[in-house]
Amino acid sequence: MTPREQEIARRILMSESRVTKAVFPPTTNHHNTLFGGTALAWMDEVSFITATRFCRLPLVTVSSDRIDFKHPIPAGSIVELVGRVVHVGNTSLKVEVEVFVEDMYRPVREKAISGLFSFVAIGEDKRPVQVLPEFAKASSETA
Ligand SMILES: CC(C)(COP(=O)(O)OP(=O)(O)OC[C@H]1O[C@@H](n2cnc3c(N)ncnc32)[C@H](O)[C@@H]1OP(=O)(O)O)[C@@H](O)C(=O)NCCC(=O)NCCS
């Protein structure tokens, strides 16, 4: 493992972020399940926190890849969002967010949503900067 790879592995562990929410009426739709837009906003927030903890630099969201809604999330359940950095480029990061739904009164938990969010670190001029300036990628390494 190169020093850069070691540092990435360390920061991935350190930056993993978990947010737990209760699904109450203000966040539900007419099916009495979690509104998709609310789920996306929560996922965007946890992915941003994860990416920021990883590099401690100003970031902007550059894309969100495919989001899979596998199971509805009923009102009155608990959800846990888990963000984890899964790719580190030169100036960009990809964060996977998994959303788990948990019954309040039974120990039942399953993955309900997953998605991938990409961020770019920017400098004062709003242009991309290295996410790991102390560990710049060797020119032979691929993105
Ligand atoms: C983010 C931004 C500065 C990037 O500028 P750019 O000229 O496209 O930058 P580059 O082409 O040099 O690409 C920079 C990095 O972003 C990545 N990137 C660019 N577009 C991307 C996309 N659609 N999806 C994933 N990654 C992308 C590139 O692969 C590159 O990654 P790397 O350096 O790790 O190899 C610019 O697109 C921007 O300001 N976008 C608006 C961001 C915003 O307002 N977000 C919403 C609010 S936070």
Question: Which residues span the domain enclosing 64?
Answer: 3-132
Asked, for residue 37, whether it belongs to a domain, the answer is: yes
Q: How far apart are the first and last CA of the chain?
A: 16
CATH of the domain at 102: 3.10.129.10
Asked, for residue 141, whether it belongs to a domain, the answer is: no
Per the structure, the count of domains in the chain is 1
- Ligand 1 site residues, Cβ closer than 6 angstroms: 60-63, 89-92, 118, 120, 122, 128, 143
- 25 to each of 9, 29, 106, how far by Cα in Å? 39, 8, 21
Mutate to test the pocket of ligand 1, among 120, 127, 131 (most ligand atoms within 8 A of CB): 120
Asked, for residue 139, whether it belongs to a domain, the answer is: no
Would you give per-residue pLDDT tens digits along the chain (143 residues)? Answer: 899 999 999 999 999 999 999 999 989 999 999 999 999 999 999 999 999 999 999 999 999 998 999 999 999 999 999 999 999 999 999 999 999 999 999 999 999 999 999 999 999 999 999 999 998 766 555 44
Is the pTM higher than 0.75?
yes
SS3 content of the chain, % helix, strand, coil (to 5): 25, 40, 30
SS3 133: helix
